[in-house]
Structures are given as structure tokens and as C-alpha cells.
């Protein structure tokens, strides 16, 4: 993110997402586990953009109760994704689109437990990036340890846990995490930020069946047709695709 912070906000946000098109096919088919859906509060929830109609699918994002994250961890997640992809005049952001739900549901999958990762040592955390992932932590552990470290660092250096900070301070904290900060004893802060940022993008562009991209807002933003059977004849045209996106379940945006 935060080297791309101008791209994440208006008016350059659309241009940023156009550059994100290559990630959509992977994100749209990402596996997700089931999770309970109960009524919960929505801290840091942004007011709707004036003129935006109330949408049932988007409203569902505020009624999800996490099955993996604790209440405090989920507050961090909500606040963080709201800054990474903010709501603006172009439409809902990651929070409104249900990205926290997407990430929580991912924690119930074999991927999050590292079941399909190579997790045998030796581990070389200082090895070049070309050597691939070099920690013994799986995704669940990265989130649990990373959120705790982020809140501890924010409390010590900024006076409050991340979710209680004003937006500009949250941006500064995310920038610091991306660049690498002391105080993350169990894992590098940049590793935690990289997973959070990657999963936020995936959730914003995933098929809604996985919990994110409510009402297909991510697809609508960039004009992606979704799970339509065939749109190959439009790929080479320099024209806007005329039909709304379609989800795996056949819902139309």
C-alpha cells in the first residue's frame, strides 16, 4: 500500500484497480471455508457515500461475526482494510464489500493452516525474496501474531490500539509496517503487511461466494464481467463491456 496510498484514494483509485486486473482470475476462484453469520457491531464503519442506494448484500457485511478472529482482532482487520481500500465517491471500499469476512473465512481453510505449504526447515528469514517464503508460521499464525504486534506497537508509539487511532495515524502505522518496524518480534512487520494487503485485494475482487466483493462492487468498479460463460469476443475491443457482472451462483450485479 502505502507507497501506493495516492492510488488507493480518489481520484486515482480507479487507475490503480485497472492495474490490478491480472489478479482477478486467481482471486475469483480462491477457496474459502464456511463460517457462521450472526449480528455483530461494526466499529469504524464509514457512513454511506451520499447518493449511494442501500443494498442488502452490502449491508450483510455489517452483520458478520468472525469465527476465527477475536473481537479485538476483527476490529483491527475492519479498520485496516478500510484504510487500504477506502470508500469514496467511486463506490464502497473493502470494509463495505465484506473483505474482513472474506479473510476470516479464509482462516478456516487448509491454506490458512499451511496444509498445502512446504513447511519443513531449515528456515532462512534473511534469505533473498527470490528464495520464497522463509518463515515457519502459517497464515493463521501470521495474522494472530501480526495483529497483536501491530496493536502493541501502535499503543506504545501512538497512544492507542490501531482501530482507535484517527485515519491519518492509521495510514502512518500501515506505512511503517510496510517499510519494516521494530517491535514485531515474532515475524517481520513487512511480512504481516504483505499478507494483509494481498488478502485485502483478493477479498475485494473474489467471487461473492467467498464472502468478499459484496454486490460485486469490485468487479463493477473495473468493469470485470465475472463468471459469465463467454466474453472472449470483447477482450480485444476498446469498448466498455455492456453487461453487468455475474457471480458463480448466477447473481447479477
Distance between CA 108 and CA 110 in Å, rounded?
Answer: 7
Structurally, the chain folds into a number of domains equal to 1
User: What average pLDDT is seen over the chain?
Assistant: 78
Res. 205: pLDDT tops 60:
yes
Res. 107: pLDDT tops 70:
yes
Q: How far is CA 242 from CA 196, 220, 226, 250, in A?
A: 33, 11, 13, 17
In a domain, 124, yes or no: no
What domain range is 192 assigned to?
2-115+133-234
In a domain, 239, yes or no: no
CA-closest candidate to residue 101, choices 55, 52, 59: 59
In a domain, 194, yes or no: yes
Q: pTM of this prediction? A: 0.75
Calculate what percentage of the chain has a pLDDT beyond 90. Answer: 45
Q: Which residues contact 218 (CB under 8 A, 6 or more apart)?
A: 17, 97, 204, 205, 206, 212, 224
* pLDDT tens profile 217-241: 998 888 877 776 666 666 777 777 6
Residue-wise burial string across 67-78, b where 16 or more C-beta atoms lie within 10 A, e elsewhere:
bbbeeebbbbbb
In a domain, 241, yes or no: no
In a domain, 89, yes or no: yes
In a domain, 163, yes or no: yes
In a domain, 244, yes or no: no
Q: Could you tell me which residue, 252 or 33, shows the higher pLDDT?
A: 252
In a domain, 123, yes or no: no
Q: Is the peptide bond before 11 cis (omega within 30 degrees of 0)?
A: yes
* pLDDT tens profile 118-170: 878 787 777 777 777 778 899 999 999 999 999 999 999 999 999 999 999 99
Amino acid at each position: 500500500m502505502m507507497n501506493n496510498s495516492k492510488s488507493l484514494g480518489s481520484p486515482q483509485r480507479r487507475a490503480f484497480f485497472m492495474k490490478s486486473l491480472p489478479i482477478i482470475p486467481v482471486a475469483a476462484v480462491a477457496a474459502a471455508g464456511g463460517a457462521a453469520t450472526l449480528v455483530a457491531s461494526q466499529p469504524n464503519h464509514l457512513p454511506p457515500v451520499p447518493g449511494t442506494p442501500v443494498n442488502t448484500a452490502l449491508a450483510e457485511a455489517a452483520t458478520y461475526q468472525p469465527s476465527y478472529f477475536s473481537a479485538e482482532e476483527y476490529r483491527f482487520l475492519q479498520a485496516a482494510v478500510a484504510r487500504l481500500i477506502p470508500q469514496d465517491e467511486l463506490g464502497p471500499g473493502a470494509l463495505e464489500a465484506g473483505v474482513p469476512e472474506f479473510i476470516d473465512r479464509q482462516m478456516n481453510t487448509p491454506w490458512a493452516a499451511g496444509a498445502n505449504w512446504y513447511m519443513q526447515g531449515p528456515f532462512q528469514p534473511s534469505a533473498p525474496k527470490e528464495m520464497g517464503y522463509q518463515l515457519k508460521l502459517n497464515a493463521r499464525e501470521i495474522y494472530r501474531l501480526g495483529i497483536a504486534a501491530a496493536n502493541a506497537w501502535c499503543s506504545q508509539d501512538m497512544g492507542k490500539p490501531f482501530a482507535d487511532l484517527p485515519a491519518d495515524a492509521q495510514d502512518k502505522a500501515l506505512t511503517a509496517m510496510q517499510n519494516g518496524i521494530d517491535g514485531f518480534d515474532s515475524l517481520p512487520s513487512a511480512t504481516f503487511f504483505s499478507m494483509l494487503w494481498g488478502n485485502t485485494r483478493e477479498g475485494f475482487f473474489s467471487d461473492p461466494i467467498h464472502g468478499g466483493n459484496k454486490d460485486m462492487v469490485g468487479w463493477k468498479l473495473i468493469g470485470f464481467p465475472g463468471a459469465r460463460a463467454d466474453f472472449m469476443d470483447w477482450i480485444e475491443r476498446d469498448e466498455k463491456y455492456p453487461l453487468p457482472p455475474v457471480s458463480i451462483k448466477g447473481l447479477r450485479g
